[in-house]
């Protein structure tokens, strides 16, 4: 099969490309490198079945050509990370909504299957965990810019499902829960890589808020496996599906676990939300997925233990910090 991955040089996109190439598919990547990186796909560039385009989704002519040549479009391009969302709400909304609209509109002309990535953020302040796909979405007020990301991704979902119901465009919507692993950057506030990097550098591990907010972390290999299986399952079309691990941990406990796994002496410090992000910042206290639907559709559920995930992220950062073979000879 021939896949087009928007945001293909990003963290998840690069891992998905790797998996698809391994099974013999042809992969085309589209990325403007706003949050992605060529380093993520450098090891894939030698494959004859991979091509990439460094451009924006807004390039309608290029997008139309790439969609026309593809069998499946995996739409991962988005503004990501709490830090980026708080600092650039206009960019967040425009990137997410406009990008998804263009992909759906272009794919609809040729009835190409689109898998679009949403987020667990859409559940907002809902306190009924685990979150089921048919649960109410409870967002905060529009005066809190933090909720702009959740609102834009919810609109993405409405768009995708409307294209399916009204225009019969085959779509699959996945709600991702804290996907983590090698090649993820902490630049935009991703908690696990930031914790691991700080621990390895001997710097304070910064926990925002009181640390009692909890999350479930899903290994990127499990996320990719879920995406591939959903794409290969016709019954997934027209559905919204949670993709995540169900092992829940508080952020404070995560900091201690990282410190333990890395054998770090780093202190753990607590930083108020107002100082970390913006005055009046609101957070989701728990974020736990129900994955029964995913398992029923694909016979798969993510189960990589958190300790193994931390070890993989640690090994990645350690490999990045090793000197190049000839570095000592450089003067």
Residue 287, pLDDT score: 96
Residue 83, pLDDT score: 66
Residue 293, pLDDT score: 98
Is pLDDT of 323 > 60? no
Neighbouring C-beta atoms of residue 212, cutoff 10 Å: 12
Class of domain 2-180+218-245+288-303: alpha beta
Is pLDDT of 148 > 90? no
Residue 81, pLDDT score: 63
Distance CA 187, CA 78 (A): 15
Stretch 256-269: mean pLDDT, rounded? Answer: 98
Is pLDDT of 324 > 50? no
Stretch 103-110: mean pLDDT, rounded? Answer: 97
Residue 78, pLDDT score: 82
Residue 92, pLDDT score: 78
Confidence of residue 326 (pLDDT cuts 50, 70, 90): very low
Stretch 160-172: mean pLDDT, rounded? Answer: 98
Q: Domain residues of the chain, as ranges?
A: 2-180+218-245+288-303
Instruction: Give the tens place of pLDDT for each residue, 45-69.
Output: 999 999 999 999 999 999 999 999 9
Confidence of residue 325 (pLDDT cuts 50, 70, 90): very low
| Given the residues 52, 149, 163, 208, the one annotated as active site | 149
Distance CA 77, CA 51 (A): 17
Confidence of residue 88 (pLDDT cuts 50, 70, 90): confident
120 close to 280: Cβ distance less than 8 angstroms: no
- Predicted model pTM: 0.93
Residue 79, pLDDT score: 72
Confidence of residue 327 (pLDDT cuts 50, 70, 90): very low
Residue 202, pLDDT score: 97
Stretch 12-41: mean pLDDT, rounded? Answer: 96
CA distances from 67 to 50, 60, 70, 144, 162 (A): 15, 10, 5, 36, 19
Instruction: Give the tens place of pLDDT for each residue, 182-202.
Output: 999 877 668 999 999 999 999
Q: Give the pair of three-digit tokens for residue 251.
A: 């952020």
6 close to 106: Cβ distance less than 8 angstroms: no
CA angle 47, 52, 55 (to 5 degrees): 170
Is pLDDT of 37 > 70? yes
Say whether 123 is catalytic. no
Residue 322, pLDDT score: 56
Stretch 93-105: mean pLDDT, rounded? Answer: 92
């Amino acid at each position: 099969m021939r896949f087009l991955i928007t945001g293909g040089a990003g963290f998840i996109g690069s891992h998905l490309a790797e998996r698809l190439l391994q099974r013999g598919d042809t992969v085309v990547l589209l990325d403007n490198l706003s949050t992605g990186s060529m380093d993520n796909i450098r090891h894939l560039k030698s494959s004859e079945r991979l091509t990439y385009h460094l451009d924006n989704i807004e390039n309608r002519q290029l997008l139309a050509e790439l969609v026309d040549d593809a069998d499946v479009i995996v739409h991962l391009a988005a503004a990501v990370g709490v830090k980026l969302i708080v600092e650039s709400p206009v960019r967040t909304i425009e990137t997410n909504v406009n990008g998804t609209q263009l992909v759906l509109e272009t794919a609809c002309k040729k009835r190409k299957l689109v898998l679009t990535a949403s987020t667990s953020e859409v559940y907002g302040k809902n306190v009924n965990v685990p979150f089921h796909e048919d649960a109410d979405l409870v967002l905060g007020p529009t005066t809190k810019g933090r909720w702009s990301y959740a609102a834009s991704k919810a609109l993405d979902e409405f768009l995708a499902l409307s294209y399916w119901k009204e225009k019969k465009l085959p779509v699959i919507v996945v709600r991702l829960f804290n996907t983590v692993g090698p090649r993820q950057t902490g630049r935009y506030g991703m908690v696990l890589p930031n914790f691991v990097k700080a621990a390895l550098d001997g710097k304070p591990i910064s926990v925002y808020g009181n640390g009692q907010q909890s999350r479930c972390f899903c290994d990127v290999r499990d996320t990719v496996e879920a995406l591939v299986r959903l794409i290969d399952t016709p019954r997934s079309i027209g559905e919204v599906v949670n993709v995540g691990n169900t092992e829940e941990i508080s952020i404070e406990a995560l900091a201690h676990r990282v410190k333990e796994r890395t054998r770090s002496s780093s202190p753990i410090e607590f930083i108020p939300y107002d100082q970390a992000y913006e005055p009046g910042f609101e957070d989701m206290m728990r974020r736990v997925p129900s994955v029964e639907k995913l398992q029923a559709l694909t016979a798969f559920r993510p189960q990589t233990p958190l300790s193994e995930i931390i070890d993989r992220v640690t090994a990645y950062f350690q490999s990045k910090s090793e000197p190049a073979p000839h570095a000592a000879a450089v003067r």
